[in-house]
Amino acid sequence: MNIEATIIELEKSLLTFEVRRSEVELRKRIAPEFKEIGASGAHFSLDDLLERLPAEQSWSAVAQDFEFTQHSKDICQLVFRAFVKDCDSEKGTYSLRSSFWQKLDDGWKMIFHQGTKVEPFELAS
């Protein structure tokens, strides 16, 4: 599998409850020095994610329009659009997201993520 496909697969896996509810799986994908700026403007660390993500309730996400850039042999960026909705509603949040991934001794890990709320866009079918 090439680097682009690997990073997209890793990113998509972070939108699954199987991964989000597992500290082991999160640590496989997220670097210890991870930083996030959420759509709300709040800042998060890996410890914050390990506390927050396993407690999340039912929602679903659609990720699409991936744009991959390799900045060096060990650093790449993935930009994509996402729609996240509560399973009890048709309403949700549209966002533009950017993640930086670094190749570490134990594989590719996310080192930074930012989500920005955007106007609704057409969802891929």
pLDDT in tens, the chain (125 residues): 799 999 999 999 999 989 999 999 999 999 999 999 987 889 999 999 999 988 887 888 999 999 999 999 999 999 999 999 887 777 889 999 999 999 999 999 999 999 999 999 999 97
Q: Domains of the chain, with CATH numbers?
A: 3-117 (3.10.450.50)
Q: Which residue has the tokens 């190749």?
A: 103
Burial class (CB in 10 A: 0-12, 13-18, 19+), 99: buried
Largest CA distance in the chain: 43
